[in-house]
Amino acid sequence: QQQVKQSPQSLIVQKGGISIINCAYENTAFDYFPWYQQFPGKGPALLIAIRPDVSEKKEGRFTISFNKSAKQFSLHIMDSQPGDSATYFCAAPKGANNLFFGTGTRLTVIP
C-alpha cells in the first residue's frame, strides 16, 4: 500500500527560527508532491507543491526540497512566525485518483 511517512509528529520552534518537516514516500509513477496547512477547526489549505523535475521550489518563506532518488521531500519554513503555528500535511499521489496524506506535523512557533 502506498504510504507517506511524515516526521516529526510535533515541532516547537522559536520565532525567527527554521522549521523543517520531512516526508518519505514509496514508489510512485506520478509526480506531484503538495504540502497542506491546516489551522484548528479549518480545512487543509494547499500551501506549496512541487513536481520533481526540479529539486527545490521556494515561495516566500516556504521552500520544498525534493530528493527523487531517496524518495524524500521536505518543507522548510524560514523566519518562522507564531502565525505559522498549524498542522502541516505532506501528500503524494495514490494511484491515479487521489492523494495519500502523511499523518501531520503540529508546529508551534513560540514568540
When the beta carbons of 38 and 81 are compared against other proteins, the nearer one is 38
Q: Which is nearer to other proteins, 3 or 67 (CB)?
A: 3
Query: Smallest gap, in angstroms, from Cβ of residue 71 to other proteins?
Result: 18
CA-closest candidate to residue 105, choices 90, 92, 88, 91? 88
Those residues whose C-beta lies under 8 Å from the C-beta of residue 38, and which sit 6 or more positions away, are 44, 45, 86, 87, 88, 89, 104
Instruction: Give me the least distance between CB of 10 and other proteins, in Å please.
Output: 10
DSSP string, 49-68: EE-TTSSEEEETTEEEEEET
Give 95's Cβ-side CA count (13 Å radius).
Answer: 3
Q: How far is the CB of 93 from other proteins (least distance, A)?
A: 6
Which residue number, 18 or 46, has a Cβ lying nearer to other proteins?
Answer: 46
Positions in the binding site for other proteins (CB under 8 A): 6, 30, 32, 34, 36, 41-46, 49, 89, 93-104
